[in-house]
Each structure stands twice: as C-alpha cells, then as structure tokens.
Amino acid sequence: MELINPTLNMDNPKRVFDLAYRQILSFPDLPMFAYKSAGQWQMVSSRDFLEEVCAISKGLIALDVKPGDKVGLVAESRYEWHVVDFAIQQIGAVTVAVYPNITDADYQFIFNDAEIRLCIASDKTLYQRICNLVDSIYSLKYVFAINKFAESRHWKELADLGRAVSNSQLDDLRDAVQAHDLATLIYTSGTTGKPKGVMLTHLNLLSCVFAAREVTPLQTNSKALTFLPPCHAYERMVIYTYFYIGITVYIAEGLEHIGQNIKDVKPHIMTAVPRIMEKLFENIMKTGSNLPDFKKKLFDWAITLAEQFDPTGETNGFFYKQKLSIARRLILNKFHAALGGNLVTVVSGSASLQPRIIRVLLAARNPIYEGYGLTEASPLIAVNFYNRGVRVGTVGNAVKGVEIKLASDGEILVKGSNVMAGYYNNPEATAEVLKDGWLYTGDIGKWINNDYLKIIDRKKEMFKISGGKYIVPQPIETKLVESAFIEQAMVVGESMKYASAFIVPNYASLKEWARENAPTVVDLPKQQFLYSPAIYKRINQEVKLANKHFGNWEQIKKITILPQEFTIENGALTPTLKMKRREIMKKYQHEFEQMYN
C-alpha cells in the first residue's frame, strides 16, 4: 500500500480522496488537520491522516463492503468524519452523509432508500437511535460508534478487522475508482416533502474544488476554521478545497465555543450560514447598546455610516471615505479584531444574508463574500469574487466551468461538470429538474449589471394573493429581520386578500426596550409579555417601516406574534436552517385563519 502515488496528477486529481495523497507530495510538512483534545490543539499530518484512512478502509473490506455499496456516516463536525469519508470513498463505496439532527422517520427513510449496509455514528445518542431502528431498516447489518462507551461497537474495531486484508487488495480497489463513479449521496433537507438522495460523482465535487480555488485569495499555510457540519455539501466542498490549496483545517469545538476558537486560531478563512452571521451581528449590536451614553452615540454613528458602505466605491464620495476612516479607527476595527484579526475571507451561503450585515462587516474590513449553490450542483454555482468586486445583494458571478441562464419565468438554469448525476432511486424527480443538460434550480433570479446574479426567491415559495399579484416572501422576510426586535419572520397569505406574517420577536431586545418604554410589562412571563399591547404595537411599527420598501400589494397587513423560535428541534427548520414552511403552516393553521377572519 503506497501512501505516495507517483502516477497522481498533482494539478488535476481525478478522485476526491486523491486530495489527501496529493498533500503528502505537495505539502509534506503541512498539518492537514487540527482539533481540540484535553484543552490542547492536536495537529495531524497528511501521512497520519492517510494511515488512519487506510486502516478503516481495510476494515470495511473485511466486512465485505464492495464498490458501489452505501455506507452511512452520521456525525457532527469532527476530525473522524473526514477519516471515515475518505476510507469509504477510496474502496469505491459511497458515503451517505446524514445530518445528526434529523428525525427517526427521516433516518428510516434515508437508510432504506439508500440501502445502507453499514453505518458509523458519532456518539451514544445517535448510535442508540440508529440501533433502535435496525429492525425497520432491511439492509443495515453493522453499526459502529466513534465515541467509546459500554455496549457499543467502537469504530476502531474496523482497524483491527482490517489487519487480515492485504495492502494489495486496498490498492487494487483504490486504483479502480474512476472520476465518473459515485462518491456520495447527500439527501436534501426536505423542505418540500420526502428527502431526495442527490448523487454526486468525484468529477462533480472536484469541478467545484477547482472553481473554488479560482475565487479563493488564500495560499498554502493559511488557517481555516470549520464549524458547519461537513455532511452539508457546501462545507464539505469548501474543506476539500482547503486540502487542494494546502490550508490547515482547524475543527471548532462547536458553536458554543466558536468565539474562543476564533481567538485561539485567528483563522484566515471560515464559512458561515446567514443565521450564524445574524447571531454574530446581534451580539455586536448588543455590545454597542450597553455602552455609556457618549460611546453609544459614537457606536450608533459608526454603524449608521457602515450601513451605507458600497464596496464598489460608486456611491461613496470623498467626505464619506474620510468619515469611514474615523469610524474604523474608533469603532469598526474592533469588529475585525473580534474575528481574530487575520480574516481574509468569510464565505456566506445556504440562504440570503441581510445586505445591511454585509455592508457593516465589509466597512469593518471583514471581507465577507456571499455565494450561491445547491446540493444538486455539488454545490457551487456563483460567488462574489474577491478580485472582481462585490455587489451587495447579489451572489456574484458564475464560477469557472459553470454556465447560468434564466428561463422566461426567471428560473435559474445551470449547466456544467458540477451538475449531479440525478436523484437516487427517483427517475421522476430527476426528470423534473434535469432537462436538455440543464439543471432547473427552482430558484428565481435576475441579472444586475448584466453578470451579477441576484436571487429573488424559491419558485415554489412564491404565491399569489386573491387579486392575482405575486408575493415573493424572501426579500420581505429579509427586510423584516433587519429589525433589532424581530428574530424570525415568515410571510404567508396564498390565495388570500393580502400578505400577512408570522413574527418571532427578539425577546432580549424587546425586554431592554421595555425597561424604559413600557415598564409595566417588563416583569410579565414571556408569553404574556410578547402578547401585551405595548409589544404588539412596537413590533407593528417595525413591520410598517419594512413595508415602505415594497409595493402596496406586497406590504404586510397583519401579523401574528409567535413566542416559540423556529428551530431544528421543533421541526420548523431544516438541518441547513431553512424554514419548513409547510410544517410551520400546519402547526399555526389556527393563527393563520385568525389573521383573515
């Protein structure tokens, strides 16, 4: 078994797992991973990583896992996830990357649909959940756990079993894997019904890696911090790109430790989803609101100025730039320092990020680039290039090797080597989205300045009110949550006379406001507080401010305040933090009807 493959094309690897072998040749002294153990960052070389990968690969062979077999991987962001992923891939088997926070019903459906024979889960809870489903999953034979605990099969047993497998057996299987072979199944998060298994080949994934390299301003020996789950196509492709460039991947301990991990690592690059960036921004604003009067006024002035920042320089004149220079020295530079002080790139994807947040972070010299992709496109489609200028409110330009066009109704169509092979076991769904070589994304877009793509909304989420006018929820929801008092919003009203909205308030911000403006409600229990007339009126004022940005037919006429946040745990969000509109509507059908009675 050779850890150095002399036939490997250094510039053009053909299989995803080639990226690890390439590291030994290209960056022999570079730590491939770092993770926290016993309070210390542990560095892992590419050679050590590959030795673990090969040991697990041989264990899978010993259990008769064959090329094309599906192996489940259910774990949060952790070093072992990547070991298992490459171990599966390099014997020609298929990694079925499953979110650790879905329902048992989804596990049962996915495991049966993919015909998973063997599964590796991270912790005791996940291991026991999957073991409890064994009787209802006809193909599943083996379940292993990454964490060690009683009454489980530990994943290192695979390495012990693999000692009986020869190196030549592994070499033969690895060498037989081709670029067009299936590398992974990723099940979509199910916003519109049952999950669908997206089939991605090695070529699909690597085409995005090569395209991402073109738009990433970082070089070898940089540091990346990852905290999003690698079962998400977006984070997974980004991490593969880190391998290709030669960037050490620091694995965060979890979202609750992200602030400390940023201080420890001082990363040059990290990725995020809008919900996380919104929370970060809320913390910044909360810090500002607690400053003494003079400093608070200075903070508010700097934020207001930053909200007008135009990264193209087309609308910010000489006097604006002078004021921004002062605001940076006094206030905004602290934001950059709070994110480690070394950031060259923050990439935001998965959903739309508020333009206001992007402008403030860019003004504070935090280079945030919004992009666009779909799991079905492996996932990269477009991004704001660091060397082409950023257009706030757009997702930038098509990346190298990807062609984009808009259908007559504005639907975004995509063509390129990144487009999936189809949906597993689902030819009908495949035929709906793959037509004449084009992927029909289901997203509605328009061009800004001819080649900057702006996402308007999901085609299936647009709806008509009874007057025949279309309502596009996403831009309205984005504007609503710009308010410091609104945490989440969902626009509703299909076939009704007007649009309404479910509003999840920002409880902490409203409590702070009420201390001075509505002291009689401050000490009420949460639900009574949120339903009080004073709070309803305050929220309604914020809705009216947002309404000014939209046509009369688009404006929110009525609201319902919901005391419970939309979360993954209560079934309102997908694992990628998108709203499950159908589930939310089902849960709040009575409240919906009340708005129209």
- Rounded Cα–Cα distance for residues 454 and 462 (Å): 16
Amino acid identity of residue 442, one-letter, is G
**Which segments of the chain have a pLDDT < 70?**
1-11, 189-193
Strand partners, 269: 224, 345
Q: Does residue 379 have a cis bond before it (omega within 30 degrees)?
A: yes
Residue 4: its pLDDT value, please? Answer: 59
Q: Taking the mean position of all CA atoms in its chain, how far away is CA 494?
A: 28
Strands of 94-98's sheet in order across? 142-145, 116-121, 70-74, 94-98, 182-187, 197-201, 422-423
Residue 237: its pLDDT value, please? Answer: 96
**What three-state secondary structure class fits 142?**
strand
Residue with tokens 């400093």: 295
Strand partners, 177: none
What's this model's pTM, rounded to 2 decimal places? Answer: 0.83
Q: Report yes or no: 360 and 302 within 8 Å, Cβ to Cβ.
A: no
Give residue-wise pLDDT tens across range 149-208. 998 999 999 999 999 999 999 999 999 999 999 999 999 865 556 789 999 999 999 999
Residue 191: its pLDDT value, please? Answer: 53
3-state helix, strand, coil in the chain (%, to 5): 40, 20, 35
Give residue-wise pLDDT tens across range 198-234. 999 999 999 999 999 999 889 999 999 998 889 989 9
Whole-Å CA distances, 288 to 35, 280, 341, 356, 424: 33, 13, 19, 16, 50
Angle ∠(224,391,398) on CA atoms, nearest 5: 70
DSSP string, 494-542: TTSSSEEEEEEE-HHHHHHHHHHH-GGGTTS-HHHHHHSHHHHHHHHHH
Amino acid identity of residue 103, one-letter, is T
Contacts of 424 (CB under 8 A, 6+ apart): 113, 114, 185, 196, 197, 198, 199
DSSP string, 467-501: TS-EE-HHHHHHHHTTSTTEEEEEEE-TTSSSEEE
Q: Report yes or no: 531 and 561 within 8 Å, Cβ to Cβ.
A: yes
- Rounded Cα–Cα distance for residues 189 and 410 (Å): 24
Residue 573: its pLDDT value, please? Answer: 86
- Rounded Cα–Cα distance for residues 473 and 61 (Å): 50
- Rounded Cα–Cα distance for residues 206 and 194 (Å): 28
DSSP string, 229-268: -TTSHHHHHHHHHHHHHT-EEEE-S-GGGHHHHHHHH--S
Q: Taking the mean position of all CA atoms in its chain, how far away is CA 144?
A: 27
- Rounded Cα–Cα distance for residues 242 and 293 (Å): 45
Q: Report yes or no: 238 and 215 within 8 Å, Cβ to Cβ.
A: no
> Sign of the C-alpha dihedral, residues 575, 580, 586, 589?
positive
Residue 158: its pLDDT value, please? Answer: 96
Strand partners, 191: none
- Rounded Cα–Cα distance for residues 485 and 503 (Å): 10
